[in-house]
Amino acid sequence: MRTLGDSLNERMKNESFRREYGAIQPEMNVIRVLIEARRERSMTQADLAARTGIDQADISRLENGSRNPSLNMLKKLASGLGMTLKLEFVPEQQREVKVKIEGL
């Protein structure tokens, strides 16, 4: 049986795919960190919406990748999670802009 990892490894051999995959990683990192932080606190999207004043539908769009958050929205989300937002720029060689919500 072929796994998702197997499929990804195969596709990563294609330079065009590898470039595009790398280009979306900052957005994917934001999504991953947001979902992990919310779940670790046993919060629903509705709970987070109530704490931040951000519509639950907008939180859902952020988590499914159909909406990009503003910096202000990220700060509100971090605060609603009882955390602070930290953005970090790293050298190109590392090929990743790290986004971390402190406390995660």
Q: What is the pLDDT of residue 97?
A: 46
Model confidence at 98, pLDDT cuts 50, 70, 90, reads low
Question: What is the CA 32 to chain-centroid distance, rounded?
Answer: 4
What pTM, to 2 d.p., does this model score? 0.77
pLDDT at residue 93 tops 60 = yes
Q: What percent of the chain has pLDDT over 90?
A: 62
- Cβ count near 1 (within 10 Å): 3
Q: What is the pLDDT of residue 92?
A: 75
Q: Where are the domains of the chain?
A: 4-101
Q: What is the pLDDT of residues 56-82, one digit of tens each?
A: 999 999 999 999 999 999 999 999 999
pLDDT at residue 100 tops 70 = no
**Phi-psi bin for 103: left (phi > 0), alpha (psi -120 to 50), beta?**
left
Q: What is the pLDDT of residue 95?
A: 56
**CATH architecture for the domain at 4-101:** Orthogonal Bundle (1.10)
| Coil, helix or strand at residue 103 | coil
